């Protein structure tokens, strides 16, 4: 099953990266949907957030990733000292991120917490799975922003407590309401309800590595 990742070739992404904020230490950027965070092993997957940024900022270092289909705000360090500072904040879980997503169906509760541990799924690579024996703890808080009818969908604001790969996609599916456009964890119906994954990183908050003061940035949801 590993052939899936080796043969995956990302279609060309015509959308640009937007720089939302810039100083001597960091960039806050907006990643378009359909762009890899890092270049893939396959030489056809060279185009990525990192590949594009180092053309203009040769010392740029990515501190976290967004899935290929996810859009939104990312923090980029412009030197190793800054990267180490913000990585420590990620490890201490003091970086606060929010995401907007549109889910299939109507989520009953107006807010709640999802605690489902996530593990590798060697049989279905590159998918991951919920596993209470071998999974790593994963927690997400959700708040319903609105509900739409025909088709029934729910817009939610997610605040993840952990940063596992595919976490919000898996937790949404675990709630019984997959994110629209999700190819790995949705149903054929929910995947077909959107042309892209309807998941967007809307805000990030952390201590600025130079001033030490609390610092935040936002990116407007495009869907």
| Dist. CA 185–CA 65, nearest whole Å | 19
**How would you label 163-189 residue by residue, b for 16+ Cβ within 10 Å and e otherwise?**
ebebbbbbbbbbbebbbbbbebbbeee
SS3 155: strand
* Sign of the dihedral defined by the CA atoms of residues 88, 60, 161, 187, in that order: negative
Does 16 participate in catalysis according to the annotation?
no
Residues 6+ apart with CB under 8 A from 109: 144
Q: Which of 6, 16, 47, 67 is catalytic?
A: 67
Of the candidates 206, 199, 204, 198, which has an alpha carbon nearest to the alpha carbon of residue 218? 204
| Dist. CA 62–CA 16, nearest whole Å | 17
SS3 13: coil
Q: Looking at the annotation, which residues are catalytic?
A: 67
């Amino acid at each position: 099953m590993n052939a899936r990742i080796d043969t995956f070739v990302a279609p060309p992404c015509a959308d640009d990266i937007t720089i939302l904020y810039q100083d001597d230490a960091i960039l806050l950027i907006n990643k378009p949907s359909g762009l890899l965070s890092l270049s893939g092993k396959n030489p056809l997957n060279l185009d990525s957030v990192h590949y594009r940024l180092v053309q203009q900022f040769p010392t740029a270092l990515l501190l976290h990733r967004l899935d290929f289909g996810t859009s939104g705000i990312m923090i980029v360090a412009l030197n190793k000292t800054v990267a180490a500072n913000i990585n420590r904040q990620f490890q201490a879980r003091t970086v606060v991120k929010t995401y907007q997503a549109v889910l299939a169906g109507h989520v009953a509760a107006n807010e709640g917490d999802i605690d489902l541990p996530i593990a590798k799924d060697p049989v279905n690579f590159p998918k991951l799975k919920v596993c209470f024996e071998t999974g790593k703890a994963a927690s997400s808080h959700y708040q319903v922003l609105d509900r739409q009818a025909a088709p029934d969908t729910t817009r939610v604001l997610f605040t993840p407590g952990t940063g596992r790969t595919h976490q919000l996609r898996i937790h949404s599916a675990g709630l019984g309401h997959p994110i629209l456009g999700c190819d790995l964890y949705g149903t054929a119906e929910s995947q077909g309800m959107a042309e892209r994954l309807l998941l967007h990183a809307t805000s990030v908050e952390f201590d600025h590595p130079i001033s030490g003061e609390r610092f935040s940035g936002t990116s407007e949801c495009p869907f």
